[in-house]
Amino acid sequence: MTKPDVKRMFGIWFLVAVAANFAQYYLSQVPFFGTTSSTVTLFDWGLSFNYLNWAAPVLAALPMGASFCTDWRSGYAWLQIARAGRERYLRSRCLACALSGALVEAAGLALFFLALLPVGSLTQEAILYDYQYMAGFSDILRQAHWSLYVGGLMALRALAGGFFALVGLAVSSFAPNPYIALASPMLLARLCTEITWSFPAVPKWVSQVALSEGLAGLDFWPNLGVGLAVFGGGMALFAALFRAGVGRRLEHG
């Protein structure tokens, strides 16, 4: 990655996004403190029963999702491409964007889980007592350690964060407006969710939100596999769209 991309990736907006992500998870569960003795249950509910969670796609895109359009409007994009070369610039920007989105989700969830430790218990007895109330793929809790369940959800959310960040980046190359670029991941997530709600024949994993929360109607390992395929393929698709959008702008000015 180029130095400007690394610097922007861990800049002030990354810290703001991580803090806001942690806050929306934590605040959603404050009313439920004392209703369960399981930390893992609260962690699951923070993802599944959280209306603030619709902000997560926007927060994932916040550090880098609108970076191209701001650089293009200021003229800085030309200087970066001249210094790094077109191919290196494109690869670096896509990688930095995907990593920043993934880290926003992973860091926010890690802080959320740590903040829940004093509130609940991690004993197997408490977890198994409440697992039937969890919305996610809780089947794994009867077979393996809670860390696998929590780690699986974190991995899915990190993949989703990288995907949503690249959605914003791709849109920014076609519509150089930072507000449109940052809103586009949430609009896409909402559209796909509405499709799965309105048409029962459509697989639940079409909704990126349901897939990343373990709510796609799949068991643990199939959900992880489908998540890797969908989010990995989606990142490749939107990275290609970003390359096409930048190429179009460079050709036509």
The per-residue pLDDT for range 4-21, each reduced to its tens digit, is 888 889 999 999 999 999
Confidence of residue 224 (pLDDT cuts 50, 70, 90): very high
Helix axes 67-74, 76-84, angle to 10 degrees: 100
* Number of domain units in the chain: 1
Confidence of residue 216 (pLDDT cuts 50, 70, 90): confident
Phi, psi of 34 (to 5 degrees): 95, -15
User: In this predicted structure, what is the pLDDT of residue 93?
Assistant: 93
Confidence of residue 1 (pLDDT cuts 50, 70, 90): confident
Domain coverage including residue 80: 3-252
Confidence of residue 232 (pLDDT cuts 50, 70, 90): very high
User: In this predicted structure, what is the pLDDT of residue 131?
Assistant: 62
Angle at 3 between CA 59 and CA 233, to 5 degrees: 50
Task: Give the pTM.
Answer: 0.92
Measured between alpha carbons, how far is 89 from 75 in angstroms, rounded to an integer?
A: 15
The answer to whether the CB of 213 falls within 8 A of the CB of 138 is no
Higher pLDDT, 243 or 76: 243
Strand partners, 38: 121
Quickly list H helices, 10-145.
Answer: 12-29, 39-48, 56-61, 67-74, 76-84, 86-116, 124-130
Residues 99-121, mean pLDDT to the nearest whole number:
93
Q: Does the pLDDT value for residue 207 go beyond 80? A: yes
The per-residue pLDDT for range 171-187, each reduced to its tens digit, is 999 988 999 999 999 99
